[in-house]
């Protein structure tokens, strides 16, 4: 009985370490984004491939769930697993950069600051995918949709910068 309580406690801690930072990044990003959709973002010139605003919430929800799963899979590896700490460090850095982008682009109302963030963010995401994939293939693959979406977001950010420069 004592062992099962310890196992449950350990499992809950790992889930918390995976889910809470991801949920916090989402929340912090929304604090910057939501108040700036109208009128600032709505008033910007956007490229023809811009997506409707309603699509961003379900996409980001899916991406955040996949990020939490990826982190959980790495967190459950033994602490002394070579590359585990580096992978987790890269993961949490890209997560922080993700939240910071919303503040740089939306809250600061600056597509230029968004670009200053999103290019290195993309590099950290790619590094995280590589580090995670070496440790747990599924964890690495969980982050591939994030890289694809941030690639699209980078192109959108750049296009908005150019159209509104």
Tokens 């811009």 -> residue: 50
Q: Report the C-alpha gap between 43 and 103 in whole angstroms.
A: 18
- Per-residue pLDDT of 34-91, as tens digits, reads 999 999 999 999 999 999 999 999 999 999 999 999 999 999 999 999 999 999 999 9
Q: Which whole-number Å values give the CA distances from 147 to 85, 129, 141, in the listed order?
A: 21, 9, 10
Whether the CB-CB separation of 74 and 91 falls below 8 Å is answered with: yes
Quickly state the pLDDT bin for 11 (edges 50, 70, 90). Answer: confident
Percentage of the chain lying above the pLDDT 90 cut: 90
3-state secondary structure of 48: coil
* Cis amide leading into 39 (omega within 30): yes
Q: Report the C-alpha gap between 11 and 34 in whole angstroms.
A: 34
Mean pLDDT of the region 118-146: 98
Question: Where do the domains of the chain lie, and which CATH numbers do they carry?
Answer: 2-164 (1.20.1260.100)
Q: Report the C-alpha gap between 118 and 94 in whole angstroms.
A: 10
């Amino acid at each position: 009985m004592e062992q099962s309580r310890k196992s449950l406690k350990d499992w809950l801690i790992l889930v918390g370490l995976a889910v809470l930072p991801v949920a916090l990044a989402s929340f912090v990003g929304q604090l910057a984004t939501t108040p700036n959709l109208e009128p600032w973002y709505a008033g910007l010139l956007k490229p023809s491939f811009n997506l409707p605003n309603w699509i961003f919430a379900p996409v980001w929800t899916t991406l955040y769930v996949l990020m939490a799963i990826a982190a959980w899979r790495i967190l459950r590896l033994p602490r002394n697993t070579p590359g585990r700490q580096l992978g987790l460090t890269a993961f949490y850095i890209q997560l922080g950069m993700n939240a910071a982008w919303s503040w740089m682009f939306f809250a600061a109302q600056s597509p230029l600051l968004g670009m200053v963030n999103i290019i290195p963010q993309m590099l950290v995401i790619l590094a995280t995918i590589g580090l995670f994939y070496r440790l747990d293939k599924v964890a690495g693959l969980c982050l591939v949709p994030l890289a694809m979406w941030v690639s699209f977001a980078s192109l959108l950010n750049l296009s908005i910068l150019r159209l509104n420069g």
